[in-house]
Structure 1
Amino acid sequence: MADAAIVSAELDRFRLASTGRVSPAFGTAHIRRALVAMGDPQDRIPAAIHITGTNGKGSTGAFIRAMAEAAGLRVHVFTSPHLVRVNERIRIAGQLVEDGELADVLADIWRRTEGLTYFEALTAAAFCLFAHHRADISIIEVGAGGATDATNVMMKPAACVVTPISRDHEALFGISGVAAIARLKAGIFREDAPAIIADQPAIALGVLREEARTAGAPVLEAGDDWRARWEGEAFVYEGQRLTVRAPWLGLRGRHQAQNAGAACATLEAMGDKRITPAAMAAGLREVSWPARLQKLAPGPLAKDRDVWIDAAHNPGGAATLANAIRASRSEGMRTAIVFAIQGVKDVDGVLGELTPVVDEIVICPLPDSGGQEGGVGADPRHIAGVAQTLGAKVSVADDLMQAVGLAAARAASVYICGSVYLCGDALRLNGEQID
């Protein structure tokens, strides 16, 4: 059996053995017991930066990684979900984990533990691998929420980051409202670990400040302790000691200034003298992160079409995408979105943001997640009804390939959005890999 197939088989064992358990809402007791059996690797990983938030977690982590690597540092990264291959979730000193090594560590975890979910098993695998391989920094992205997430087992992180908070995953956690979401996410704060807080709604900011005080975490807050802004196309970060200027950011969208600022504030707070303003500027320019306003390369899906993918799947992310579409549209240029979304998501809220900036919405079924976490796709007929109620011109396609063809025949620019899994399917169909 090929190594990739072995990885898939190992993960299938965890998935089948934990049917009915949803790890983000379950709490950390189960994975803590498992990590004890593995020798508590989470306590031995290098300088952990723990990142939570509703939108921007991946982009913020990508900026941190790019700046640290531009300074010559070795960086581990754990993120989720993946787009094409599960290996994307675990990056060891800059390189995606190899199939054979991932299969071996998953087999070892299976032998020593019991009942871990898919996400918990991969989290444990990341901790084991990061403890084994040398690096200077580890970037650990929360799966969902914060306090009860499987990643929230590190007692002494180097820093904790909260990217912009909005409403998402409320049904999963049995909570409602931005304040409750902020309190859940603040559960990652630790005593003496700097809490870097990006721009937030006022109600979320108040909760985060209160929870940071309770935890004994010093706060570094956007607009107070650090600032990020645009000067034309140039990005400027002003911190307590550092000023960083980059002629552009490697990630598209005006919203990326806030993510880049949070990343700069995090590295400034950590105080590693090797990470100079010049290295930070270089990393900000060179950063890449897939499925965030990413233009597809010429291929079977894109061909000679102007096709973009963006992982926006909640109202906050959709508002950001809508702003980017609005800013890029020239007068008279027709724009369409190809759309699918999980049934548990706020379909009305997402489409409410996107409908005003596009000429047509083409809906297709959500592809299978390949065993990843996540619910079933919303019925395309339900999505169509919502979109029509909002005044959109709507078409329904049998699959993603057909949907892109329909959209491209009627619009100059096509944006595929609504789900990370849909974006991953677009990359697969177009023959693109993440490296």
Structure 2
Amino acid sequence: MTRGSDAILQRMMSLHPKVIDLTLDRVWRLLAALDHPERRMPPVVHAAGTNGKGSTLAMIRAGYEGAGKTVHAYTSPHLARFHERIRVAGHLISEDALSAVLDECWDRNGGDAITYFEITTCAAYLAFARARADVALIETGLGGRLDATNVFDAPALTVITPISLDHQQYLGDTLAEIAGEKAGILKRGVPCVVGPQPDEVMAVIEARAARLGAPLLAHGQHWQVWQERGRLVFQDETGLLDLALPNLPGAHQIENAGAALAALRHLGLSADACEAAVTGADWPARMQRLKTGPLPALVPRAELWLDGGHNPAAGAALARHLSGLSHRPLHLICGMLNTKDIAGYLRPLAGQADRLIALSIPGEANTLPATETARVAATVGLRSDTADSVEDALRRIGSDVPDARILICGSLYLAGEVLRQQGG
């Protein structure tokens, strides 16, 4: 179904020749023309990181909502439709409201150069400024220092989730360089919750925090989290929490939950809110089990999963989670972008998967051709071939190995296509 907002969003793609062009000048210009909606928003929690920031914010949101609070949230990219990026006072933005703020941003921008992400970020802030909420959760798009979201002088809290190599063409070739960009969200005097980090990353974050007088609440120093006897145990300087395990699957979600709990505790929320954070969070395409719908119906005896992770750290996290599941033959259906470290992503999975079927991502200009994904998979020891579609791949696996565990993986763009096919 074509919506009015779709046409406006398509028009906005033409305002800048580059999809990504990291600078804050154009955002500041448009925000000024809109009378600075970012200054009229509720208290902001601003999150950056390579992996886990979306899941961490989802848990923070669940904690606030479990405490009866109202939450704005801005995340990216979307999976099935753009509206997912903007959650106003607890609900996905309506079509009418989205079209209205997009139109207003288009008019105030006056045809000047601005990227799609920049102008839509301004639209989100405009929507947030006009609706009451107790908190606004903001996820960076890329990096941090020059990201279009990084316009808050005094957020209530910043969060930096685990940093690893990704987007090197924009953020730098080393972990230290990437950490410098992510740490650009730190603000003078504003506390920052820091998830588990390599030593060289932590050194960069600590140095910047010291310059800004920004107190750190760091994993391993100020808070710890672990799994014990089927429970999640969290400890900080306030005391110990004994909670249910996160409903988001994967061992890495224990650490994401820890960052969310550290944030909620610092922000003064109750133990009940912390319980709601781990039991009530929902974040699609992060080891999401697909049980009903047209795609699972093609493989009724199989176990079907969907994950949008796409870098080496995500591949390693997936491999750890899969190794803890009951044994079934594992088959991957994989499509990736041509900007990613395909071998680095697939290498941790190679020891567990029986086969990979590669796809080109439908409708995505930057897709890696299926033949190239299959070629790289073979270099890391994965038996591989190609298919024309997810349905084709599922039918083939269902015919060959009816009781397989099937993981559709490699890209959030592929995950979005799958959820659209599922009617999501």
Q: Displacement, 1:213?
A: 1.0
Cα distance in structure 1, aligned partners of 2:157 and 2:243? 24
Q: Displacement, 1:120?
A: 0.9
Provide the residue aligned with 2:411 in structure 1: 419
Cα distance in structure 2, aligned partners of 1:233 and 1:410? 36
Provide the residue aligned with 1:372 in structure 2: none
Aligned length: 417
Provide the residue aligned with 1:367 in structure 2: 362
Matched residue type, 1:107: D
Match of 1:405 among 370, 390, 395: 395
The 1:41–1:316 alpha-carbon spacing in structure 2 relative to 1, beyond 3 Å, is same
Provide the residue aligned with 1:278 in structure 2: 272
What's the TM-score once normalised by structure 2's chain length?
0.96
Between 1:379-388 and 1:356-365, the stretch displaced more is 379-388
Provide the residue aligned with 1:186 in structure 2: 183
Q: Displacement, 1:242?
A: 4.3
Check if 1:44 corresponds to 2:36: no
SS in 2 for 1:308: strand
Cα distance in structure 2, aligned partners of 1:395 and 1:415? 15
Matched residue type, 2:154: K
SS in 1 for 2:87: strand
SS in 2 for 1:359: strand
Q: Displacement, 1:399?
A: 1.3
Matched residue type, 2:378: Q
Match of 1:299 among 256, 270, 293: 293
The 1:277–1:389 alpha-carbon spacing in structure 2 relative to 1, beyond 3 Å, is same
Match of 1:80 among 65, 76, 79: 76
Match of 1:338 among 333, 342, 346: 333
SS in 1 for 2:296: coil
User: Which blocks of at least 5 consecutive residues in structure 2 are unaligned?
Assistant: none
Q: Displacement, 1:21?
A: 5.1
Check if 1:236 corresponds to 2:233: yes
SS in 2 for 1:328: coil
Q: Displacement, 1:245?
A: 2.2
Between 1:403-412 and 1:96-105, the stretch displaced more is 403-412
Match of 2:323 among 313, 322, 326: 326
Match of 2:10 among 9, 12, 25: 12
**Cα deviation code 1:239-275 (max 9, x no counterpart):** 221432222211111111110110111122223xxx2
Cα distance in structure 2, aligned partners of 1:229 and 1:21? 40
State the Cα RMSD in Å. Answer: 1.3
What's the TM-score once normalised by structure 1's chain length?
0.93
Match of 1:354 among 334, 349, 369: 349
Would the aligned equivalents of 1:82 and 1:89 in 2 still touch at CA under 8 Å?
yes
Cα distance in structure 2, aligned partners of 1:408 and 1:204? 44
SS in 1 for 2:142: coil
Provide the residue aligned with 1:92 in structure 2: 88
Match of 2:253 among 251, 256, 265: 256
Provide the residue aligned with 2:366 in structure 1: 376
Check if 1:289 corresponds to 2:289: no
Q: Displacement, 1:381?
A: 1.4
**Cα deviation code 1:118-137 (max 9, x no counterpart):** 11121101111111100001
Cα distance in structure 2, aligned partners of 1:325 and 1:407? 18
Check if 1:314 corresponds to 2:308: no
Matched residue type, 1:7: S
Cα distance in structure 1, aligned partners of 2:13 and 2:36? 23
User: Which blocks of at least 5 consecutive residues in structure 1 are unaligned?
Assistant: 370-374
Cα distance in structure 1, aligned partners of 2:400 and 2:202? 43
Q: Displacement, 1:14?
A: 1.3
Cα distance in structure 2, aligned partners of 1:363 and 1:382? 8
Would the aligned equivalents of 1:242 and 1:277 in 2 still touch at CA under 8 Å?
no
The 1:87–1:21 alpha-carbon spacing in structure 2 relative to 1, beyond 3 Å, is closer
Match of 1:64 among 55, 60, 65: 60
Cα distance in structure 1, aligned partners of 2:345 and 2:137? 29
Matched residue type, 2:152: M
Between 1:69-78 and 1:279-288, the stretch displaced more is 279-288
Provide the residue aligned with 2:211 in structure 1: 214
Provide the residue aligned with 1:168 in structure 2: 166
Q: Displacement, 1:318?
A: 0.7
Identity of aligned residues (%): 37
Cα distance in structure 2, aligned partners of 1:204 and 1:152? 20
Would the aligned equivalents of 1:302 and 1:430 in 2 still touch at CA under 8 Å?
no
Matched residue type, 1:279: A
Matching of residues 132-211 of structure 1 within 5 Å = 132-173=130-171, 175-211=172-208
Matched residue type, 2:349: L
Cα distance in structure 2, aligned partners of 1:27 and 1:243? 42
Cα distance in structure 2, aligned partners of 1:21 and 1:300? 33
SS in 2 for 1:36: helix
